[in-house]
Structure 1
Amino acid sequence: MALILVVDDEASIRSFLRRTLSLYGHEVMVGETGLQAVEITAERCPDLMILDYNLPGLDGLEVLEAVARRCPSHKVLMLTGREDHEVEDRAVALGVGAFVQKPIDLNRLIALVDALLESP
């Protein structure tokens, strides 16, 4: 299936998404900080990043800016704790294809993952 990078500072979310996405046949890598996301993508570009906005060190938007140069064709789904239209507008400009609010609705997340991976 696809290679997915999950980046979230909450261990429970990383673990949950790793298990769930693996059950759907995806290969899943995880990171807990923005810097780890940048380091991971320096070695291997994922097909999809599931990226939390609020990360220690580099925030989600800073990660997107750094990774876009290395992995221009990857898709991005951003996790957010609250609605912030200014952040969402900036994120869309940086290539985010979908947003999921926490707490995560699993059915919505899986539907968005499938849609992003199927899109050109």
Structure 2
Amino acid sequence: MAKILVFDKDPQSVHQLKGILAAEGHECVVSPDGYSVIPLAEQHYPRLVILDYNEAAGVEILQRLRKSNVGAMIPVIFASATSKYEMEFSVMDAPAVGYVEKPLDPAKVADAIRDFIGPKRA
């Protein structure tokens, strides 16, 4: 079981991600807003962060996370209705950054998580 930090401005997406993570056997820590991502990462030391990509806000959170003491190497998956190809190349080319498209497909989210933290443990 891995601890995964989630921030998404859409409550329905958060609810869906919580269900997917629970089904995969992971613990979900939800950030109520973008400003809380860094303090929660420092408090909980997640194995992975799933962020809503809403243009500049998602990029800014990633940049702040990478500059923090704890977040420099934490993998980040962006969940977005924006296509992967429309996202900034600098974000997608960054190390340890993945992407899942909204609406969320549970199998694709689970696969993206496994890409970064390995298979789920029995």
TM-score > 0.5 by shorter chain: yes
Confirm whether residue 64 of structure 1 aligns to residue 75 of structure 2. no
Q: Against the structure 1 CA distance between its residues 26 and 3, is the aligned structure 2 distance closer, same or farther, given a 3 Å change threshold?
A: same
Q: Where in structure 2 are there 5+ consecutive unaligned residues?
A: none
Number of residue pairs aligned between Structure 1 and Structure 2: 117
How high is the TM-score relative to the length of structure 2? 0.82
CA deviation after TM superposition for structure 1 residue 102, in Å: 0.8
Q: Which letter does structure 2 place at the counterpart of 1:60?
A: G
User: Does the aligned pair in 2 maintain the 1:4–1:49 contact within 8 Å?
Assistant: yes
RMSD: 2.2
Which shifted more, 17-26 or 6-15? 17-26
Report the CA distance between 1:74 and its aligned residue: 0.8
Mapped to 1, the partners of 2:115 and 2:84 lie a distance apart of: 23
Query: In the alignment, is the contact (CA less than 8 A) between 2:4 and 2:50 conserved in 1?
Result: yes
Aligned pairs for 1:43-58 (under 5 A) are 43-54=43-54
Q: CA deviation at 1:84?
A: 5.8
Tell me the SS of whatever aligns to 1:63: helix
Where 1:85 maps in the other structure, the secondary structure is coil
Task: From the superposition, tell whether residues 23 and 63 of structure 1 become closer, same or farther in structure 2 (CA, over 3 Å).
Answer: same
Q: What whole-Å deviation, never above 9, does each CA across 1:29-55 have from its counterpart, x for those lacking one?
A: 012421121221232321101111128
Instruction: Report the counterpart of residue 14 of structure 1 in structure 2.
Output: 14
TM-score, scaled to structure 1? 0.83
Whole-Å separation in 1 of the counterparts to 2:78 and 2:84: 12
- Structure 1 SS opposite 2:87: helix
- 1:81 maps to 81
**Ranges in structure 1 where 5+ consecutive residues have no aligned partner:** none
